[in-house]
Amino acid sequence: MTVAVLAVVTLGLIVAPHKGSGSAGTEQDLAPDFRFEVFDGTTFSLAEHFADDGRPVVLNFWASWCPPCRAEMPDFDLVAQAHPEIRFIGVAVDDVESNARAFAAEIGVSYLLGFDPTHKAHLTLPFVALPTTWIIDGNGVIVHKVQGIMTIDLLEQTLADKL
């Protein structure tokens, strides 16, 4: 396989719309409730967010030991600041909580950050690699999933196309 074909195949696997079995013959998947501990000591619930707030959500799974995660977080922060109509959330997974907290303090992003103390995020919203980002519309429907690093341009284009 040539390098160009391999790159196209790899990109197609990384940036692909999420389509599940849905219900009643639809291609839509409702995001399951997902709870995690916010670094400020509170708990965030995806179901409560949609019931109370209703903004679309960009949910990014990251880890302090993950170089692509670290690289994309400043871009997520810039896009989050430009789009207050969308709730940006970063959840540290497969990580040591103290390491995740230390990195969160170091990176200093303005969007909501927390930690999955159950280490079961991958069972609720599956991911194979980090970073993984889920785009969920204001009705709680999963509209897209990206496994791999997102740049400002890719994130902006994805939001324009999917929300």
The tens digit of pLDDT for each residue in 68-122 reads 999 999 999 999 999 999 999 999 999 999 999 999 999 999 999 999 988 888 8
Strand partners, 23: none
CATH code where residue 108 lies: 3.40.30.10
Tokens describing residue 158: 């994805």
Residue range(s) defining the domain that contains residue 43: 3-162
Looking at residue 22, what is its pLDDT?
A: 36
Query: For the whole model, what pTM was predicted?
Result: 0.83
When divided into structural domains, the chain yields a total of: 1
Q: Is residue 60's pLDDT more than 50? A: yes
C-alpha 21/C-alpha 65 separation (Å) is 33
- Tokens representing residue 63 in the block: 């880890």
**Integer Rg of the chain from CA:** 15
Confidence of residue 1 (pLDDT cuts 50, 70, 90): very low
pLDDT of residue 35: 93
